[in-house]
Amino acid sequence: MPDLERPYRLAARDGQAEPTVVTIGQLRIGEGCPVVVMAGPCTVESRDQTLTTAQWIKAQGATVLRGGAYKPSTSPYGFQGLGAEGLEILAEARAVTGLPIITEVMDPRSVELVCRYADILQIGTRSMQNYDLLREVGKTKTPVCLKRGMSATLTEWLQAAEYILLGGNPNVILCERGIRTFETYTRNTLDLAAVPALRELTHLPIIVDPSQGTGRASLVAALSKGAVAVGADGLLIEVHPDPKNALKDALQQVTPEEFAALMHGLRPIADAINRGVA
Amino acid sequence: MPDLERPYRLAARDGQAEPTVVTIGQLRIGEGCPVVVMAGPCTVESRDQTLTTAQWIKAQGATVLRGGAYKPSTSPYGFQGLGAEGLEILAEARAVTGLPIITEVMDPRSVELVCRYADILQIGTRSMQNYDLLREVGKTKTPVCLKRGMSATLTEWLQAAEYILLGGNPNVILCERGIRTFETYTRNTLDLAAVPALRELTHLPIIVDPSQGTGRASLVAALSKGAVAVGADGLLIEVHPDPKNALKDALQQVTPEEFAALMHGLRPIADAINRGVA
Amino acid sequence: MPDLERPYRLAARDGQAEPTVVTIGQLRIGEGCPVVVMAGPCTVESRDQTLTTAQWIKAQGATVLRGGAYKPSTSPYGFQGLGAEGLEILAEARAVTGLPIITEVMDPRSVELVCRYADILQIGTRSMQNYDLLREVGKTKTPVCLKRGMSATLTEWLQAAEYILLGGNPNVILCERGIRTFETYTRNTLDLAAVPALRELTHLPIIVDPSQGTGRASLVAALSKGAVAVGADGLLIEVHPDPKNALKDALQQVTPEEFAALMHGLRPIADAINRGVA
Amino acid sequence: MPDLERPYRLAARDGQAEPTVVTIGQLRIGEGCPVVVMAGPCTVESRDQTLTTAQWIKAQGATVLRGGAYKPSTSPYGFQGLGAEGLEILAEARAVTGLPIITEVMDPRSVELVCRYADILQIGTRSMQNYDLLREVGKTKTPVCLKRGMSATLTEWLQAAEYILLGGNPNVILCERGIRTFETYTRNTLDLAAVPALRELTHLPIIVDPSQGTGRASLVAALSKGAVAVGADGLLIEVHPDPKNALKDALQQVTPEEFAALMHGLRPIADAINRGVA
């Protein structure tokens, strides 16, 4: 019988001392493993944009390709993603580069379809408390990257993870992506203290998204270094061949050249903490 | 062609000066209409609890019965509602009292079912940016009460309403229910300035939920008066025959006696602004 | 010996059931007394501006004149107030109208000077935790209006009041003026739930500043009604003969005509709760 | 004539490309210089506690001693510091160890006294907008460490710095110490993005306080590494010989042993970015 006083059990460190390591082919994500860099465009806009970016980020040492086929758009008039066609493009990029792909699922009715393509399912910040969606991805075995709700406490976030774990899917990765505050210079306030705090509370892998977390391309490299230094198991970084003409989030995507410089600056930090980059 | 610079069009006051009045049978909800009081338990727990409450709140002058059959629960171990059985109980309470019912829908796959029972669909704070759900309720003609996301700006909230309007459903009611801040004495910070602010921005009806908005039964009556004084078109109030033993939100539900006193205190305010209670 | 576990004692309701009523001449401010309206310009800009405004607001039924001689300015290049000359102008306005005056003191070294002029000392939001200033005003007997810090919890606010009470000055009035949140449509989020919440926690009088609280003149009348409906003992309202040309806070000051309409709309609410306007 | 549209000028990077380097004896604090570690007790409690801590932190490589003689206390019943006696103890610790000292000044009337002892004046979070205090320290030449207000935007913070610079004191160091959010696991949310963001906006040195910033001793080492990785010019760390019995902030002070481990982990990060520890 569950203890209702404890907000979560399966996600709790005190119930499982051993870190959960999520495995995708050869890649291992979790405490103690080399730092995993997931990179790619915010949104899959075209075959050419996606393949070009995938090859570039692979050449720089990224090991997972990110890209949105289904996009949550604050405005109903904004670009909503290419949908199934976007999934096909991602699959082609994987075939060409060998990189596993992470992509968002928003609708419980799409979980089955997205699972056919994705190596990692992303649950976005607006969906962190979409319990029907959590239950649906909990029924699969596909790794799930659960982003923090933009006003979620650590406890609420771990309770959301618990929904997935309870469904039978142990492969949950937590992704800090900034919380909403009064500050307006950055789009969100990236809460890097969440990384060591979660390490105390849970055995699940923890990654950081400095692109969403700051909303400013010029800050992404510094915060990537910071995230690795505080102990993150991975990074999720938006890269676009031509950010100014991106269909979404133009301000926060770095160029391929900026991404190369970012990776160059990141390695010494990852080495300094004896983890290296995957 | 939509103007992408304008965050919303159909919801905007400057596109429709005339207030939208949502009609449910004889009941009219909107600017200039008498204040509508929607009351009832947070969650439908049993037939007896629901019918008793329904009859009591009707006797005190409430004109809509609220009650959750599908409940979003932060914890996966919390009570998730009676589901379809809860909808049946609500339907019986309507048959007995004649009160229309408002109840939450969380899953796009449940919209059709809930529409068969509900007079007003409630979209909860966690679902305000669940775009697939918004699109689904936008395809119906059932009035939709769209609660503010707990960290949503007024603009984002109206953009969420735009999703529903754009689907073809003009019957959207906005419900202020408090935003998340650093204050811990109250569960949320009820933003009553949102009411006159929205009046400037939109023609849609605006109601207030002081129960979720404060999380404290002792504050609900005062904030109900405040909501009406700032111009709200209605209230959504949690009433439970025995709050201490409620399955959810025990602290914020008022007793039947407290609800009677609340209604007694509310009428002079509603009269003072020449609206009265519906 | 003080109980260190209790955050405040002198300010606590459970130590003094009887409400504190602050008296200024014939005027009484506190729970159960008629609602007191304090009005006037944000900043004393000139003799003419101040006297004109004072006479107008008196004619409309305000019973205290507000006006800043020493102004906290976020920018060092902003207008800092007329200082001692501003105090002289306020004194003249009092002599002409008979209205007591409330004005801000920021520097512990100015307390003695400001006390010679002010009927009520105002401690601004930026000074709520300026403990040396609190101690200094605590040594006087002049009533103190202590505004809530823009990110202060109710507990911290009452602890700040405790500093003044502990110094020997029992005449403390609390003023809710909005807290800082992510919302940008309003300058602050006015927390009207703080009024009944404080009523549970303290015996001190509670007033509300809807001008600072919203930062928008168009919202001030509605929030004034809301504040009275939730039980506030008074209001602090910025009125300027020509807001567009005001030296500070042009957007939030109402015109004399708007103030007249505000007072007209306020009386029925104050009557509805059986308090009336002082 | 100042351009009123620009919120600050003297603090702005676009007016001074060259970084400001604050010099204290041999020590240099600023962009490009080795990372400076300031450490010591939250509060000077006794001669023994302070001297012991000073010697320990020096042995571990800290180059500035921190310690509060005048303490802002949220509760009037809390410990307010030893005052002038605390300053004498700090001076003795400096004489014994050779470490320059940083200590807080709260009252404009105490600036002259504190300047006689302090190598760096600290302006605490509650005083960031205490303009009379800012003006007073602006008249001195003593370096000033200006902590961010707990709900201050970057712009407001730089405007506060501008008050000091405008008074004629160019030696301003900015200290990020966390902002107030809804998260309760940490005392504040440390905004590490502020470091590279400020680097874009200003030429002033930027340090980070992970002790106040998290409120949890267990998180201080990780956030120290993160702060250095994102580019901070220094750290401000609370160390206490016996945190459990500290008079203030017991939860956030690290033990001497934890501080030694922290320094050990910090050096590789400082080396990885080619700065080293001062």
- Per run of 10 residues, the mean pLDDT along chain B (length 278 residues) is 70 95 97 98 97 98 97 93 97 98 98 98 98 98 98 98 98 98 97 98 98 98 98 98 91 96 98 97
Chain A residues with CB-CB distance to B79 below 8 A: none
| CA–CA min distance D227, chain B (Å) | 24
CATH 3.30.360.10 fits C19-70+79-179+189-272, yes or no: no
Q: Do C222 and B231 touch (CB under 8 A)?
A: yes
Q: Do A108 and B109 touch (CB under 8 A)?
A: yes
Separation CA D67–CA D53 (nearest Å) = 10
Backbone angles phi, psi at B258, to 5 degrees: -65, -35
Compute the count of residue pairs across chains B and D with CB atoms less than 8 Å apart: 6
| CA–CA min distance C183, chain A (Å) | 8
Instruction: Give the residue from chain D lying closest to B187, CA to CA.
Output: D182
Task: Indicate if the pLDDT at residue D1 is higher than 70.
Answer: no
The CATH superfamily holding the domain A36-272 is: Aldolase class I (3.20.20.70)
Task: Name which of C182, C184, C189 to mutate to probe chain A: the one with the most chain A Cβ atoms within 10 A of its Cβ.
Answer: C182
Q: Do B163 and A76 touch (CB under 8 A)?
A: yes
* Strand, helix or coil for residue D144: strand
| CA–CA min distance D155, chain A (Å) | 9
Q: What is the pLDDT of residue B250?
A: 87
At position B13, the amino acid (one-letter code) is: R
* Strand, helix or coil for residue B63: coil
Chain C residues with CB-CB distance to D178 below 8 A: none
Q: What is the pLDDT of residue B2?
A: 46
Q: Which residues pair with C176 in a beta bridge?
A: C208
Contacts of D34 by beta carbon, 8 Å cutoff, 6+ apart: D28, D270, D275, D276, D277, D278
Chain C residues with CB-CB distance to A181 below 8 A: 182
Sign of CA dihedral C62, C64, C65, C70: negative
Chain A residues with CB-CB distance to B126 below 8 A: 129-130
ipTM of the shown complex? 0.96
Separation CA D259–CA C58 (nearest Å) = 63
Backbone angles phi, psi at C142, to 5 degrees: -65, 135
Compute the count of residue pairs across chains A and B with CB atoms less than 8 Å apart: 66
The CATH superfamily holding the domain D20-71+78-272 is: Aldolase class I (3.20.20.70)
Q: Are D233 and D206 in contact (CB under 8 A)?
A: yes
Q: By C-alpha distance, which of B203, B199, B181 is closest to B190?
A: B181
Instruction: Give the residue from chain D lying closest to A229, CA to CA.
Output: D226
Instruction: Give the residue from chain B lying closest to A8, CA to CA.
Output: B75
Q: Do D189 and A197 touch (CB under 8 A)?
A: no
Token pair for B201: 């921005």
Full DSSP string of B159-226: HHHHHHHHTT---EEEEE--B--S--SSSSB--TTHHHHHHHHB-S-EEE-HHHHHS-HHHHHHHHHH
pLDDT tens string D97-111: 999 999 999 999 999
Q: Do D181 and B182 touch (CB under 8 A)?
A: yes
pTM: 0.97
Chain D residues with CB-CB distance to B180 below 8 A: 182
Task: Name which of B3, B126, B147, B166 to mutate to probe chain A: the one with the most chain A Cβ atoms within 10 A of its Cβ.
Answer: B126
Token pair for D28: 């240099």
Residue in B7, B108, B180 nearest the CB of A109: B108
Residue carrying structure tokens 């907000």: A7
Separation CA C138–CA C117 (nearest Å) = 17
Query: If interface means Cβ-Cβ distance under 8 Å, which residues of chain D face chain B?
Result: 180-182, 184
Instruction: Give the residue from chain C lying closest to B195, CA to CA.
Output: C222
Q: Are A72 and A104 in contact (CB under 8 A)?
A: yes
Separation CA A208–CA A231 (nearest Å) = 10
Separation CA A6–CA C57 (nearest Å) = 57
Chain A residues with CB-CB distance to D183 below 8 A: 153-154, 179, 191
Q: Do B132 and A163 touch (CB under 8 A)?
A: no
Instruction: Give the residue from chain B lying closest to A179, CA to CA.
Output: B151
Architecture of domain B28-71+79-272: Alpha-Beta Barrel (3.20)
Q: Do C180 and A180 touch (CB under 8 A)?
A: no
Chain A residues with CB-CB distance to C182 below 8 A: 180-182
Please state the length of chain B.
278
Q: Do B4 and A72 touch (CB under 8 A)?
A: no
Distances (CA, A) of B7 to A73, A78, B2, D150: 11, 10, 10, 31
Separation CA C113–CA C132 (nearest Å) = 16
Separation CA B155–CA C13 (nearest Å) = 40
Chain A residues with CB-CB distance to B109 below 8 A: 108-109, 132
Instruction: Give the residue from chain C lying closest to D7, CA to CA.
Output: C75
Task: Name which of B180, B182, B183, B185 to mutate to probe chain D: the one with the most chain D Cβ atoms within 10 A of its Cβ.
Answer: B182
Chain C residues with CB-CB distance to A182 below 8 A: 180-182
Q: Are C204 and C195 in contact (CB under 8 A)?
A: no
Task: Name which of A71, A107, A110 to mutate to probe chain B: the one with the most chain B Cβ atoms within 10 A of its Cβ.
Answer: A107
Chain D residues with CB-CB distance to B181 below 8 A: 182
* Strand, helix or coil for residue D231: coil
Q: What is the pLDDT of residue B5?
A: 59
pLDDT tens string D17-43: 999 999 999 999 999 999 999 999 999
Residue A243, number of CB atoms within 10 A of its CB: 20
Residues of chain C with pLDDT under 70: 1-5
| CA–CA min distance D227, chain C (Å) | 25
Separation CA C213–CA C192 (nearest Å) = 10
Q: What is the pLDDT of residue B1?
A: 40
pLDDT tens string D70-105: 999 999 999 999 999 999 999 999 999 999 999 999
Distance of CA A80 to the CA centre of its chain: 19
Q: By C-alpha distance, which of D156, D234, D220 is closest to D187?
A: D220
Contacts of A8 by beta carbon, 8 Å cutoff, 6+ apart: A155, A158, A159, A161, A162, B75
DSSP state of B100: -
| CA–CA min distance D183, chain B (Å) | 8
| CA–CA min distance B107, chain A (Å) | 6
pLDDT tens string D134-187: 999 999 999 999 999 999 999 999 999 999 999 999 999 999 999 999 999 999
> In the structure, what pLDDT confidence band is assigned to residue D265 with cuts at 50, 70 and 90?
very high
- Per run of 10 residues, the mean pLDDT along chain A (length 278 residues) is 70 95 97 98 97 98 97 93 97 98 98 98 98 98 98 98 98 98 97 98 98 98 98 98 91 96 98 96
| CA–CA min distance C28, chain B (Å) | 23
Q: What is the pLDDT of residue D2?
A: 46
pLDDT tens string D182-210: 999 999 999 999 999 999 999 999 999 99
DSSP state of D243: G
Q: Do B106 and A131 touch (CB under 8 A)?
A: yes
What stretch of H or E contains A36? strand A36-40
Instruction: Give the residue from chain D lying closest to C107, CA to CA.
Output: D132
| CA–CA min distance B81, chain D (Å) | 28
Q: Do B129 and A132 touch (CB under 8 A)?
A: no
Contacts of B264 by beta carbon, 8 Å cutoff, 6+ apart: none
